[in-house]
Amino acid sequence: MSLPNPTIRRPDVIVIGTGAAGAVMAKELSTKGLQVVAMEMGSFQKTRHFDQDELQAMHPASNNHDHPNIYRHDQPNTYRQSSDDQAVEDHGIHMQSTVGGSTLHYTGISWRLHENDFKERSLFGDLDGADVQDWPIDYWDLEHYYEKAEYEVGISGLAGANPFDPPRRRPYPMPPVPRTSSGALADMAAQKLGWHSYPAPLAINSREYGGRPPVMNCGFCESYVCTIGARSSMLVTMIPQALRTGNCQIRADACVREIVVDEDGRAEGVIYLDKDLREHRLEARAVIVCCNGVHTPRLLLMSKSNLFPDGLANSSGKVGRHLMFNYYQSARGFYEKDLNEYKGVMDSRIIQDFYDPDPDKYGFFGGGVLEPRGDGETISFANLNMPRLRRWGARRKKWIMDNYTRYMVALTSMQSMSQESNMIDLDPDVNDKWGLPVPRVTYNVHPNEHKLGDFFRDRARELLDTAGAHGIVASPNFVPHGDAHLMGTCRMGNDPATSVVNKFNQAHDVDNLFIVDGSSFVTSGKSNPTLTIQALAFRCADYIVTQMARLNIR
Amino acid sequence: MTSKPFSRRSFLSNTARATGGVITLGVLSRTGAIDAQETPPFEYTWQNLDARQGRTVDALTRMIMPSDDNDPGAAEARVIVYIDRALGSHRAEYKESYVSGLAAFDRYCQLSHEAGFLDLDTRNQRRALMGIDRARSPRNWPDDAPMGARDFLRMLVTHTMEGMFSDPSYGGNYRETGWKLIRFPGRAAFGYDPPFSEFDMTIPEIEYPEWKPYDGPMKSRIVGEA
């Protein structure tokens, strides 16, 4: 059955971006009867256009970045460590720009932030060199919307299994997916260590749900688009629901280059470029920006006008500031028997025993999680950098043969500190294929991140060792140039002088402009921001509908 | 496509027979698990490398992923076919690096071992490859070479692994030789059912407490509701 995609010439709202936030907004608002045009800079693919070809997905040709299977290098950026440096071209920012966004290929881990995540400044105090603040909302503002996201998007998991989980009113709509070998080893190790391993809440079906089939445990999960639609990506959940209302048009291959304002400073609409770089103008009663932590501030900074000479909604000067990733460290353990991690989802267990340890006791601020995992990639495995092992020759060959089925990774993901100096702005020299300035990333770690890294690397080793690994290789600390978790760059707050949006994701400066995605985050959480992005979007949609009904937004 | 004269010795050491632009590649006289029925010699027409370049790359891939009496390697996986084809498609950007890198490598072999790579015996071919696997380019690596010695080797290794382990539709991993070598059963159209290994089969599932709805004050706030 083909879905309608009507041409809507004068929408009520324009949603820019069709990922975790934009697709939820499009579905919610079109379901409430508003006319919606959702803009996507990339193409509109079907799941059947993707496949699990490692070469194409992970090792693409540099001149073939438009292929839908490739997400890593799709949108170029530049990087510098500090504002004194000259930025150089880089591909550290991971985002998929096709309809559905990065939900097409994400691991799908979907937990709720904890109550403490919203008030770390109050609970744990300040940290030198960082700008840690409380959120203007708390867990109870999102609880209902987390539940809504879990049921509407489709999350599998086991309520009550994680003793550190925040309170919830309903269990998950589906039981967990099958445990992988790395999950089983994590269970064993955690029990010996007195930790609490629990089934990862995943945006992956464990049974038929929403007309979609259960997981097939194919082993090519993260970084690959699920070809059967078992992953609850936006492309197979919110997008078709939005289109079925008949009130939503997806306008793909349409790159918004500016949000335009009228003489009163209200958002009037957008100017966008089509595939052939022809310019179009589209107007609406409200504009919602959902391009995540890098491309949202970039678009606002490109939207300069007499009223907003420093970029739209940027009277605070904070648009693009406070860029956060989730810092991570990992260790790889090798075992005597097969794990066969080419079978199963990427990550079936999570451990949150060190989610927010006492800073006075541990000597660092914030915390993190352990996410034991593995995958089926063969080329990447063969090319792994291993100490004291040449990349070629008989010994390398034997090592690949002996170990491809016998390893797991203990990934640890942790908090990044909010720092005003970490930011996105417009690169003065480099343009993208649309002729628009690429985002320039300025990013350095806070020393606290490397303290976290040392602590969590040791926990990762401990996990693998307790599970019986005969060899463990761990990564050193590093300065990330980018990530897939992109947060903080239009942060939420009550004070218009220090934040960009209010607690309903409405721009302080422009009342019919909404910004909903990772950029709203005040703190980074420990990992896996997507469910929180979706909950913020469901909540913001409710707010827009009530405001429009009260004629606060005309 | 060009063909260059080559010595009888290189013919023997590379088990590759070239006639004009067509080359016959394969395993001519080997014993062990791989029998000639499974990987018969096959005719191949160079698409992007010339015959000398192709034979050199072929020989290098066989040292990077060597075959032995028990297990196949780059030869059986037809890695050379992958690389030659890739240089005209998704790895076309590396074509120039191959041309200049191979010329530099041959020059290095001349200066270090007094013969071009294809004219060296197996032992000296291996010494030549070891000679360039170091952080700084060796003394005899040409100063005017566009890429350093190790970068050249890294490129070859990376592409050899791609040819061993990528989908067979790209020309390498012939009959899933590479995947069978590491016991990867290939991309599974219908996935797998648990158990996935002895570990998930034998390690008991943790018994979690039964979930009860939160019995503290539910303070959920819904936008638009009083």
Q: Do A378 and B179 touch (CB under 8 A)?
A: yes
Q: What percentage of chain B has pLDDT greater than the value 90?
A: 71
Pick the closest to residue A551 from A10, A9, A8, A12 (CA basis): A12
CA A272 to chain centre: 24
pLDDT at A6 over 50: yes
Confidence band of A349 (pLDDT split at 50, 70, 90): very high
Q: What is the mean pLDDT of residues A296-304?
A: 98
From A160, A400, A504, residue closest to B182, measured CB to CB: A400
Contacts of A183 in chain B (CB under 8 A): 200
Contacts of B203 in chain A (CB under 8 A): 184-185, 187-188
Return the higher-pLDDT residue of B42 and A206. Answer: A206
Residues in contact with B15: Cβ distance below 8 Å, sequence separation at least 6, in sequence order: B25, B26, B27, B28, B29, B75
Paired tokens of A79: 């990087």
pLDDT at B36 over 50: no
Confidence band of A76 (pLDDT split at 50, 70, 90): confident
DSSP calls for chain B: -------HHHHHHHTEEEETTEEEES--S--SSS-TTTS--EEEE-SSS-HHHHHHHHHHHHHHS---SSS--HHHHTHHHHHHHHTTTTTGGGHHHHHHHHHHHHHHHHHHHSS-GGGS-HHHHHHHHHHH-SSS--TTS-TT-SS-HHHHHHHHHHHHHHHHHS-GGGS-SGGGHHHHHTT-----TT---S--SHHHHHSPPP-PPPP----S------TT--
**Distance in Å, alpha carbon of B58 to nearest chain A alpha carbon:** 14
Q: Is B90 on the interface with A (CB under 8 A)?
A: yes
pLDDT at B34 over 60: no
| pLDDT tens digits for range A114-161 | 999 999 999 999 999 999 999 999 999 999 999 999 999 999 999 999
Residues in contact with A12: Cβ distance below 8 Å, sequence separation at least 6, in sequence order: A29, A34, A35, A36, A284, A285, A286, A548
Paired tokens of A316: 């605070």
Q: Do A179 and B166 touch (CB under 8 A)?
A: no
| pLDDT tens digits for range B159-202 | 999 999 999 999 999 999 999 999 999 877 779 999 999 999 99
pLDDT at B115 over 70: yes
Q: What is the mean pLDDT of residues A397-417?
A: 98
Looking at residue B6, what is its pLDDT?
A: 34
Interhelix angle B122-132/B95-113, rounded to 10 degrees, is 110
Cα–Cα distance for residue pair A104/A166, rounded to 1 Å: 27
pLDDT at A77 over 50: yes
Pick the closest to residue B52 from B118, B149, B105 (CA basis): B118
Looking at residue A71, what is its pLDDT?
A: 52
Secondary structure element (H or E) that encloses residue A368, with its range: strand A368-373
pLDDT at A370 over 80: yes
Return the higher-pLDDT residue of B207 and A550. Answer: B207
Looking at residue A287, what is its pLDDT?
A: 98
From B64, B192, B210, residue closest to A343, measured CB to CB: B192
Q: What is the mean pLDDT of residues B1-30?
A: 44
| pLDDT tens digits for range A233-259 | 999 999 999 999 999 999 999 999 999
pLDDT at A113 over 80: yes
Looking at residue B187, what is its pLDDT?
A: 78
pLDDT at A525 over 70: yes
Looking at residue B26, what is its pLDDT?
A: 61
**Distance in Å, alpha carbon of B17 to nearest chain A alpha carbon:** 24
**Distance in Å, alpha carbon of A321 to nearest chain B alpha carbon:** 28
Q: What is the largest CA-CA distance in chain A?
A: 73
Q: Do A546 and B223 touch (CB under 8 A)?
A: yes
pLDDT at B5 over 60: no
Q: What is the mean pLDDT of residues A221-235?
A: 94
Looking at residue A1, what is its pLDDT?
A: 53
Q: Do A217 and B219 touch (CB under 8 A)?
A: no
pLDDT at B4 over 60: no
Q: What is the mean pLDDT of residues A24-38?
A: 98
What is the ipTM, given to two decimal places?
0.92
Q: Is B215 on the interface with A (CB under 8 A)?
A: no
Bin A139: left if φ > 0, else alpha if -120 < ψ < 50, else beta: alpha
Q: What is the mean pLDDT of residues A508-536?
A: 98
Asked if A448 and A401 touch (Cβ cutoff 8 Å), the reply is no
**Distance in Å, alpha carbon of A507 to nearest chain B alpha carbon:** 17
Cα–Cα distance for residue pair B131/B149, rounded to 1 Å: 9
Return the higher-pLDDT residue of B32 and B164. Answer: B164
Contacts of A144 in chain B (CB under 8 A): 220-222
Looking at residue B216, what is its pLDDT?
A: 81
pLDDT at B1 over 80: no
